[in-house]
């Protein structure tokens, strides 16, 4: 493939060792708790949790067990995502016991594959004669994509080809079925995923066929007459979901027009970002200018008109979808965990297309807030929907909030999010740096070592910090010999004041900033040290004047962390709280809270309700207030102390 973009690369996961005071806890949790827990979940061994049946489906399809298929049409993908997470864990550190379990699963998956390469337990068990007849609704390509991602991760980690061969055979089968050639299906997936997976498969096989197939799927999307209608007609108009909205509402799966004509983030948010990640991945490989512009245009609409401060996207439950520009309700929100993970995939690939701070800023926002908040501190329960405001009492009787669970759940009937968090955290090492030619972009500040090659020399960069609690970040260089390359440090958009010293010498940022990165060119040798100091005061964040749900309100942010107030610290009726514009906000270290974290203590005012009486409405009432001290905790840590109210956006009271 001709690549007109500057050559960029994702650092292989085994080139990165994370040793971070913040993240290592979560990565160990994924290894020690989450992956084993999810293995139990996939095997239906978690008491009182929604059943999964996903492993059982594979065993039945493999002929190893008797029984009936159970679960969503995309149940297979939960196993694939689990396998992918395992692959990432093994890439960092081999673990024979875990590998043994994975190998056994792989044996079952291989057995479940049909002779011709087809692999999908739902169709194999339930509708063997209906393969590829309902792409719109039935997730065959989505499941295939996840299996490919899992296989690539596992192969990269272990070098074992078995599952890779399975997915090559699967991808070849898909390539036989789909394509513009006569006799092939001119169709595309209902839930995008196969596209980015095919690009990953290409990266381990170097087989350009997969790039072409990816491009075919992306270019076919949205053509008229619509494929969903064509296949529905062929099926005789049947549908697999309760109603036929997926077929009718083309925008739900971004199939309403060709991708290069799409103007806005629309429809199912996860599908949207998975698609965009696929387009960006392909465009980085092929240099397709139209596709690059599509990525830029869709990115821009999403992050400047439809994203929550927490990096959540998708503000309506219906269709788990984007809403309209600037419509960002905090309580009836969707903001699916998976959508923010997909947003990170998209951001990572945009960084590879053009290393510009804004992509990494959004990646950081989504990671530290929504994605991390999607999992409990103990790794055993998860949010699917990530609200910015929760009032459990109001939810008792209003089904408008039914999708908003005020506490994390053990598992889900539709269990896409938990394994997605696991694979995201297990592969975190891939998101810290982007390498472009002779520049390494440090886009996330996570401590540990990473190994690069410049001028054929092995270079190790070590990061050290107490981020995100503290903005002092230290880099040290180790190199076989003195090597020319550039180190680009992201100066986050949230940071007003940054300082850099190189080997103790203060470096002016004037003239070295490019797209939000401070570019340190030089000839680096072992022992060189860079100190980056990002000032991290508490920031009062305001929403765009067009967002009506943030009007008159303020949110607190410090570094990448968005804060919130919870009933556990601040009592109930948080809507009565007002933060004065000149009130003192202090950062305090609370060592008892979740292993220690920085909280923000704010002087505030609370409207008193005691003497109001019973009337719902009063004319010219005397408003009684009292001074209160509010404790803000990082949003990601909310809902770890039982059921209660929570609010990110707090009423602001102007002090004149």
CB of 638 to a copy of itself, least distance (A): 17
Residue 129 in the binding site for a copy of itself (CB under 8 A): no
Binding of a copy of itself at residue 260 (CB under 8 A)? no
Which residues lie closer than 8 Å to 83 by C-beta, 6 or more apart? 102, 105, 106, 147, 150, 151, 153, 154, 163
- Closest to a copy of itself by CB, 317 vs 641, is 317
Least gap, CB of 613 to a copy of itself (angstroms):
9
602 binds a copy of itself, rule: CB under 8 A? no
Choosing from 143, 295, 416, 564, which is the catalytic residue?
A: 416
Alpha carbons 512 and 292: distance in angstroms, whole number: 26
Q: Find how far residue 591's CA is from the centre of its chain.
A: 28
Q: Which member of 320, 354, 566, 645 is catalytic?
A: 320
Q: Measuring CA to CA, which residue among 382, 458, 407 is closest to residue 568?
A: 407
Interaction between residue 303 and a copy of itself (CB under 8 A): yes
Active site (annotated) includes residue 143: no
State the DSSP string of 99-132. Answer: HHHHHHHHHHHHHHS-TTS---HHHHHH-TT-TT
Q: Which stretch binds a copy of itself (CB under 8 A): 120-128, 479-487, 585-593, 613-621?
A: 613-621
Distance CA(194)–CA(167), nearest Å, equals 12
Q: Does 309 bind a copy of itself (CB under 8 A)?
A: yes
Please, which residue, 400 or 438, has the CB nearer to a copy of itself?
400
Of 210, 109, 215, 208, give the one whose Cα is nearest residue 166: 109
- Which residues does residue 308 pair with via DSSP β-bridges, in sequence order? none
Among 187, 319, 379, 418, binds a copy of itself (CB under 8 A): 319
Give the shortest CB-163-to-a copy of itself separation in angstroms: 40
Classify residue 75 by its DSSP letter. Answer: T
The site for a copy of itself, by CB under 8 A, has a size of 67
CA distance 86 to 94: 10
Q: Which of 274, 337, 345 is nearest to 10 (CA)?
A: 345
Candidate residues 244, 327, 462, 499; the one interacting with a copy of itself per rule CB under 8 A? 327
> Is 320 a residue of the active site?
yes
Candidate list 326, 460, 478, 480; residue touching a copy of itself; CB under 8 A: 326
Q: In angstroms, rounded to a whole number, what is the distance separating the alpha carbons of residues 256 and 250?
A: 5
Token pair recorded at residue 21: 């005071």
Distance CA 170, CA 181 (A): 19
- CB of 93 or CB of 626, closer to a copy of itself: 626
Phi and psi angles of residue 523, each rounded to the nearest 5 degrees, phi first: -110, 110
- The distance of closest approach from Cβ of residue 631 to a copy of itself in the complex, given in angstroms and rounded to an integer, is 20
Which residues from 498-557 bind a copy of itself, rule CB under 8 A? 539-548, 551-552, 555, 557
Q: How far is the CB of 493 from a copy of itself (least distance, A)?
A: 8
Among 494, 632, 635, 638, binds a copy of itself (CB under 8 A): 494
- Subset of residues 39 to 98 that bind a copy of itself, contact rule: CB under 8 A: none
Name the residue among 240, 439, 270, 258 with its Cα closest to residue 352.
Answer: 439
Q: How far apart are the C-alpha atoms of 179 and 433, rounded to whole Å?
A: 36
| CA 576 – CA 100 distance, rounded (Å) | 55
Cβ closer to a copy of itself: 289 or 544?
544
Nearer CB in complex with a copy of itself: 168/547? 547
Residues of this chain that bind a copy of itself (CB under 8 A): 266, 303-305, 307, 309, 315-319, 321-327, 329, 332, 391, 393-400, 494, 496, 539-548, 551-552, 555, 557, 573, 575-576, 578, 607-609, 612, 614-621, 623, 651, 653-656
Catalytic residues: 320, 416
């Amino acid at each position: 493939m001709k690549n007109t973009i500057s050559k960029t690369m994702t650092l292989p996961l085994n080139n990165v060792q994370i040793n971070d005071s913040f993240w290592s806890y979560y990565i160990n949790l994924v290894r020690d708790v989450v992956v084993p827990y999810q293995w139990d979940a996939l095997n239906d061994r978690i008491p009182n949790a929604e059943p999964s049946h996903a492993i059982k489906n594979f065993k039945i399809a493999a002929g190893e067990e008797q029984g009936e298929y159970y679960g969503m049409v995309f149940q297979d993908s939960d196993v694939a995502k689990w396998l992918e997470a395992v692959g990432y864990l093994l890439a960092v550190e081999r673990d024979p016991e875990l590998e043994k379990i994975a190998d056994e699963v792989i044996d079952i998956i291989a057995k479940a594959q049909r002779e011709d390469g087809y692999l999908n337990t739902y169709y194999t068990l339930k509708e063997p004669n209906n393969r590829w007849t309902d792409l719109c609704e039935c997730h065959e390509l989505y499941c295939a994509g996840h299996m490919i991602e899992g296989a690539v991760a596992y192969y990269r980690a272990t070098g074992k080809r078995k599952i890779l061969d399975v997915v090559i055979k699967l991808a070849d089968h898909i390539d036989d079925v789909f394509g513009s050639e006569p006799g092939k299906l001119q169709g595309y997936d209902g839930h995008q995923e196969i596209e980015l997976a095919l690009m990953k498969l290409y990266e381990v096989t170097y087989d350009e066929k997969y790039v072409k197939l990816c491009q075919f799927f992306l270019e076919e999307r949205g053509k008229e007459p619509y494929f969903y209608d064509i296949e529905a007609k062929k099926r005789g108009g049947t549908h697999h979901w309760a109603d036929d909205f997926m077929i009718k509402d083309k925008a739900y799966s971004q199939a309403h027009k060709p991708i290069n004509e799409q103007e806005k983030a629309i429809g199912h948010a996860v599908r949207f970002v998975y698609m965009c990640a696929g387009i960006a991945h392909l465009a980085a490989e092929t240099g397709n200018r139209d596709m690059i512009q599509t990525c830029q245009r869709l990115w821009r609409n999403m992050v400047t008109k439809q994203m929550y401060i927490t990096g959540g996207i998708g503000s309506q439950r219906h269709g788990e979808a984007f809403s309209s520009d600037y419509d960002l309700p905090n309580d009836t929100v969707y903001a699916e965990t998976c959508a923010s993970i997909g947003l990170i995939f998209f951001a990572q690939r945009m960084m590879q297309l053009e290393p510009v701070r804004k992509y990494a800023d959004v990646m950081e926002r989504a990671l530290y807030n929504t994605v991390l908040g999607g999992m409990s501190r103990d790794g055993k329960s998860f949010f699917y929907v990530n609200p910015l405001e929760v009032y459990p009492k109001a939810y008792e009787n209003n089904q408008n909030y039914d999708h908003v669970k005020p506490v994390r759940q053990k598992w889900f009937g539709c269990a896409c999010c938990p394994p997605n968090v696991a694979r995201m955290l297990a592969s975190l090492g891939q998101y810290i740096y982007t390498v472009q030619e002779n520049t390494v972009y440090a886009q996330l500040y996570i401590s540990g070592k990473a190994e690069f090659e410049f001028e054929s020399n092995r270079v190790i960069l070590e990061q050290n910090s107490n981020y995100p609690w503290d903005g002092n970040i230290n880099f040290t260089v180790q190199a076989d010999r003195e090597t020319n390359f550039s180190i680009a440090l992201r100066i986050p958009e949230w940071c007003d004041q940054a300082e850099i010293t190189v080997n103790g010498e203060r470096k002016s940022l004037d003239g070295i900033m490019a797209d939000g990165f401070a570019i340190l060119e030089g000839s680096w040798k072992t022992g060189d040290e860079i100190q980056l100091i990002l000032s991290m005061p508490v920031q009062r964040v305001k929403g765009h004047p067009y967002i009506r749900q943030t009007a008159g309100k303020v949110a607190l942010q410090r570094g990448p962390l968005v804060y919130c107030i919870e009933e556990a610290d601040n009592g109930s009726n948080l809507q009565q709280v007002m933060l004065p514009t000149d009130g003192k906000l202090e950062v305090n270290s609370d060592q008892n809270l979740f292993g220690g974290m920085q909280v923000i203590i704010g002087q505030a005012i609370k409207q008193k309700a005691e003497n109001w009486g019973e009337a719902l409405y009063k004319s010219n009432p005397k408003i009684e207030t009292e001074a209160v001290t509010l404790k803000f905790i990082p949003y990601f840590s909310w809902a770890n102390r039982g059921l209660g109210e929570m609010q990110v956006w707090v009423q602001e009271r102007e002090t004149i």
